[in-house]
Amino acid sequence: MEILKDEFGPEYVINIYDPELKMEGFLVIDNTVLGPGKGGIRMTPNVTAEEVFRLARTMTFKNALADLPFGGAKAGIIWKGGTPELKKKFVQSFAKAVKLLTPKKYIAAPDVQTGEQEMQWFVEATGDWRSATGKPANYCMKAFGKTGEKCGIPHEYGSTGFGVAKTAETAAEILGINMNGARVAIHGFGNVGTFAYKFLTQMGAKVIALADAETTIFQESGFDHEVLEKIIKDKKTLKDYPYGQKISAEKFWEVPTDILIPASVTNVINNSNKDKIKTKMIVEAGNIPMSEEIEKEFFKKGVWVVPDFIANAGGVISSYAEYRGYNPKRMMDTIDKKITKNVRIILKKSVSENKNPRDVGMEIAVNRITKKQARY
């Protein structure tokens, strides 16, 4: 896929290379009409400028739809693995290279293989507290002109997973799916998947299938919550879960559900498995878990797909809360209010007009951006 150039952007496409470290990275600032470009830094072996652009464009519309004063951006660093010391050097080399653009044009955040520690490294290298969100909770600064401190709000608090669960709960209510006992499958059991599991279980849903990178488990009666919570707390993986039926990765997609949550990698739902899926609703917890063409196919078949830029907006709403200096409770309350409001607007319009939720969401997001553009 080539980088699209249109009325929205991208404003900056920057290739970064550190010849000493052999660090190579990309920053795409897509659109800053609503505010500084906001988006995470992913560190994977095969990340490309094109992939970063796709993600930056998603952030443009995600932030507009969440009604946040942020534009869209994303960054990527080619990371084939190494020591924590080397990773720190890579992150800080990248941070120094984009320093002139932060935070007026770009604000970093966690993404694949980056978390609160990497965000602290980034901020230390730029020398500006505001240049990244998702920093450690014990990494604080004195609030200027006020008593007290502003502290980081790491995504490890579960903001994205909480937002996914609230999305599922709100959408289920509108679509007539009883959340109490609803059969749920979650693909991906990292930060987003584990918290989505936790909050959905608290809402009364029954999670019957889980998958991480190595293990796929089906348990008709629902997972043993106490055992799974201990596995999560001890930072173990699903292979350590002693119950249920271990099934192949391909069989995961054949499990009949009420709600399916892809919370893993890009394009995980594709031509090889799309026709095996039997569900009423898909909540896109991960970024771009399927192509828009496949989303349209599901809609034609009567399967409602709540797209990524609506469903996983909890993370960027958390970023906004940290940027404003909120505490974690106020952050969660803000996610609850914004996610619930936006999902209601989009799903109700989708149902009443029989339109694909992505199309409805895009109309609202584009309208917010173009209205602001028209003022300048």
pLDDT of residue 248: 97
pLDDT of residue 114: 95
Give the domain ranges of the chain.
12-59+72-152, 159-314
- The CATH number, out of the four listed (3.90.320.10, 3.40.640.10, 3.30.420.40, 3.40.50.720), of the domain defined by the range 159-314: 3.40.50.720
Two tokens at 352?
Answer: 């009443």
Q: Which helix (H) or strand (E) holds 338?
A: helix 328-353
Our answer to whether residue 274 is catalytic in this structure is no
Residue 357's identity, in one-letter code, is P
Same fold, 12-59+72-152 and 159-314: yes
pLDDT digits (tens, 9 = 90+) for 295-315: 999 999 999 999 998 999 999
Alpha-helix runs per DSSP H in 290-327: 292-300, 308-311, 314-324
Q: How confident is the model at residue 237 (pLDDT cuts 50, 70, 90)?
A: very high
pLDDT digits (tens, 9 = 90+) for 98-141: 999 999 999 999 988 999 999 999 999 999 999 999 999 999 98
What is this structure's pTM?
A: 0.88
Q: pLDDT exceeding 70 applies to what percent of the chain?
A: 97
Query: From the candidates 38, 62, 74, 338, which is the catalytic residue?
Result: 74
Q: pLDDT exceeding 90 applies to what percent of the chain?
A: 89
pLDDT of residue 145: 58
CA angle, corner 310, sides to 238 and 223, nearest 5? 25
Strands 71-78 and 37-38 come out as parallel
Handedness of CA 324, 77, 237, 291 (dihedral sign): positive
How much is the mean pLDDT over the chain?
A: 94
| Domain 12-59+72-152 homologous superfamily, CATH | Leucine Dehydrogenase, chain A, domain 1 (3.40.50.10860)
CA angle, corner 96, sides to 90 and 102, nearest 5? 120
pLDDT digits (tens, 9 = 90+) for 164-192: 999 999 999 999 999 999 999 999 999 89
pLDDT of residue 150: 85
